[in-house]
Structures are given as structure tokens and as C-alpha cells.
Amino acid sequence: MVSVTDLGIDPAAGFTSVDEANATAFERLDAADPWVVDVAPARDVLPGYRDNLVLTSGAPMAWPDYTGGQREALIGGALFEGLADSRDDAIAGFDSGRIEVGACQDHAAVGSLAGIYTASMPVFVVENRTHGNRGFCNFYEGKEPRRLNYGCYDEGVHERLLHVNTVLAPVVGEAIRRRGGIALKPLIARALRMGDEVHSRNAAASILFNREIMPAILDMCDDRVPGVRETMLHLAENDYFFLRLSMAAAKASADAMVVPGSTLISAMAFSCRGFAVKLAGLGDTWFEGPPPIHQGKLFAGHTEDEITWMGGESPITETVGLGGFAQACALSLQEYQGGSPEVMIERNLEMYSITHGENSTYRIPQFGFRGTPTGIDARKVLQTGVLPVMDVGLAGRDGGQIGAGVIRAPRECFADALAEHDRRFGAR
């Protein structure tokens, strides 16, 4: 564990009470103003990036601790980036340290599922215009269930990733730059009125984003920029395109929550080993527990025992009051991830019992435009026993997506985080 003082957070400085710290952390989160301003290769924009680095989801671990699909995904990343010319070579590279493994969130990025980043991969650059920090996320690979971030690497995966690098990302990046950046918060707020919760459902947000870049796209058509048509047709067919923007926006927002002594959660993520949370008041320290508890719906032909954990940091969306915390906006998800409207509404309401406040921008039509439950308070999680709920995709043992569902964060993370909080800041 990295100590708070190592991170430049002085527990003595300005800390008076947990309640005050939480109020400040909530305000900072609520005031965040994420704009996507650019698309650029990870190596050029992620802080501390090195060419031999492959990033993955969850609290940082040593290479040998990555197993199953997450290990496969890391190997696939090394191969895709040309850091190794065979699987064995990649393994040897990781073993020797020639190829390094890193944690996405140590580089201001968030990873979808296994969340593999390599140097050449284009990322959305999202700027929090209120606080000046940046968050990053790479691109959705497309609808095909076999994807690198689901632990698969083959010719098809390679081609689709290359297509992102060479066609999609350059066009989308140019469109974003020509627009002078796009404010994501109003777009997300609007998508919440259109059946999205911008975690497992992004159908509205994706086309709203297309609409935002449209004027630039039309100019680029006039200017004969290559790849425009291909990109727009691809975007039109990919309802999950926006997820990566929602994740980067959430990361840029949640990272602004650092307030000594706060018990609000500033990140939730998991690896093949377990689920972990960060506290806004304890800087970059992760508190790890067992894997999440799940309730899912599997695609035809798959069975429960195939479900495997290979990482996931999209719960950054729940951290800022979206996803499972806005589930009542997206009742259509019942079809994709199971459950009923009644259960989804009940679950969403339950989250108000563990959050600090109500979002002033993200609102739920179902609840008369009440703000989404925002700012998970670890204290309330322990007091109520209500565990944070998240909408996620489910990965299969043999790689690929096999379903979707709802997960709950394990209680242990919150208990450990609060124990450490007590040690640093005194009894609450």
C-alpha cells in the first residue's frame, strides 16, 4: 500500500471531520465538467507511459499473479503491439521484465473488462474543465464477442484493433478537435432521459455523440478526409461506442475527489484476483476483497460455470452516479442482463441509502427527475449492509463475452478501507 503522505496528501492539512471531507469530495465530484478534447496514442498522452508497458484492469499486481483470461489479454496486448513475436516470447518478456505490466488507473486511464492498453492504442483524452485533471479510455473494439479486452487474441481481433488505430480513431479524433472538444456531462444527462445508464446501455449516448460530431464530419467529407464514411457507418452500428467516453468522463470526474479524510469511494475495479476500491480520503491506495457477487443473464449456449473474472474498471461509472446507480433510466436492460423493471427500480432506489447526495446533473425521469444517488460512502455501506450495484458484461472461461449482469461489490473492501481510514484519521 502506498501511504497517503507519499501521495502528497497530508492528513493533518485541512482535515476537520469526515462529514466535511465528504461534503467537499461530493461537491468536487458533482462540479466536475468532463470534455473530450482529443484522441491520441496512449504513449503520447498517458502520464508515465513507456513503450514496453501493457496496462490492465484492477489494483496493481505482479505479472505472475495475472491468470486466466486476464493473463491471455496481457499476452495478446504484447503481441498486438509487436513487443513479442510469439506467445512464448511474450511470456518470456513479461517474466524477464522486458515487457512491463501496469495498472490502468496508475496512468489516469480506466480499462473496460481486462482493459488492455499498449503504446500505439488511441485513447480518448477527457479533460475535467473544473479541476484541470485528465482521464483516458481506449476504444470499443466492436460487437464481435471475441475481443482483446475479453481475453481473446487472434487474426480477427488483431484486424479490428488495427482498424481502430488506423481508421476510426484518426477520424473521430479529427472530428473532436474540429469541434473544439465536446462537453460530455450534458450529453450523458440527455442519454439518461433516453433509456441509457451509460454503462451497460449506451444506445442513445452513442448516437447523441454522432450527432455532436456531425458538423465536423460533414466538413471532413467536403475536405475529402479519408475513412470518414467507413467510420460513420461503424459508429452507426455500435451502440457501445460511447461506453469508453462515459468511462473516461467518470475517471476524470472521480479523480478530482481526492480530499483527505473522506470516506467516499473514488474508484471501484476488479482483476482476476478480486474486487478493490479506493477512498477519496486515502489517495491511491486500493483495498482489495474477493471477486464481486454476480447475478447475470448468459447468451444462448453458455452456462453459469463458464463465468470468469478477468478484470473490469467500468464500475468507475457507478462511482460517479451512473450505471447501476441510474439503472431505473434504462429499463430495457432487463432484456440484456436479466431482472425485471420492478427489481431494477428497487435496486436503484436502494443506492440512495449508501450515497452522500444526489447528482445535480444526472437525473432519473422514473423518480420525477431526482438526481442519481452519487458519492458512495463506505461508512453507509457498512452501516446498511447494502452493497454497491454495477451493470457489467460477463466474460467466459475461454475468452469472449458470454453474457451480462449485475454485480455487487464485496463488503470486505469497504471494511478494510475504513479500518485504514481509522488508523490514519482517528476513529470516525
Chain residues binding a copy of itself by CB under 8 A are 193-195, 203-204, 207-208, 210-211, 214-215, 218, 221-222, 228-229, 232-233, 236, 331-332, 334-335, 340-341, 365-369
Residue placing its CB nearer to a copy of itself in the complex, 10 or 335: 335
Residue placing its CB nearer to a copy of itself in the complex, 159 or 230: 230
Give the shortest CB-185-to-a copy of itself separation in angstroms. Answer: 17
Give the shortest CB-52-to-a copy of itself separation in angstroms. Answer: 40
Residue placing its CB nearer to a copy of itself in the complex, 208 or 276: 208
Q: What angle do CA 281, 385, 317 make, to 5 degrees?
A: 55
Q: Answer whether 156's CB lies under 8 Å from 143's CB.
A: no
Give the shortest CB-174-to-a copy of itself separation in angstroms. Answer: 16
Give the shortest CB-219-to-a copy of itself separation in angstroms. Answer: 8
Give the shortest CB-125-to-a copy of itself separation in angstroms. Answer: 24
Give the shortest CB-360-to-a copy of itself separation in angstroms. Answer: 16
Residue placing its CB nearer to a copy of itself in the complex, 7 or 221: 221
Give the shortest CB-333-to-a copy of itself separation in angstroms. Answer: 9
Residue placing its CB nearer to a copy of itself in the complex, 50 or 193: 193
Query: What is the three-state SS of the chain?
Result: CCCCHHHCCCCCCCCCCHHHHHHHHHHHHHHCCEEEEEEEEHHHHCCCCCCCEEEECCCCCCHHHCCHHHHHHHHHHHHHHCCCCCHHHHHHHHHHCCCEEEEHHHHCECCCCCCCECCCCEEEEEEECCCCCEEEEECCCCCCCCCHHHCCCCHHHHHHHHHHHHHHHHHHHHHHHHCCCEEHHHHHHHHHCCCCCCCCCCHHHHHHHHHHHHHHHHHHHHCCCCCHHHHHHHHHCCCCCCHHHHHHHHHHHHHHHCCCCCCEEEEEEECCCCEEEEEHHHCCCEEECCCCEEEEEECCCCCHHHEECCCECCCHHHHCCCHHHHHHHCCCHHHHHCCCHHHHHHHHHHHHHHEEEEEEEEEEHHHCCEEEEEEEEHHHHHHHCCCCEEEEEEEECCCCEEEEEEEECCHHHHHHHHHHHHHHHCCC
Q: Answer whether 347's CB lies under 8 Å from 327's CB.
A: yes
Residue placing its CB nearer to a copy of itself in the complex, 14 or 369: 369
Residue placing its CB nearer to a copy of itself in the complex, 4 or 322: 322
Residue placing its CB nearer to a copy of itself in the complex, 62 or 224: 224
Residue placing its CB nearer to a copy of itself in the complex, 42 or 191: 191
Give the shortest CB-190-to-a copy of itself separation in angstroms. Answer: 8
Give the shortest CB-170-to-a copy of itself separation in angstroms. Answer: 17
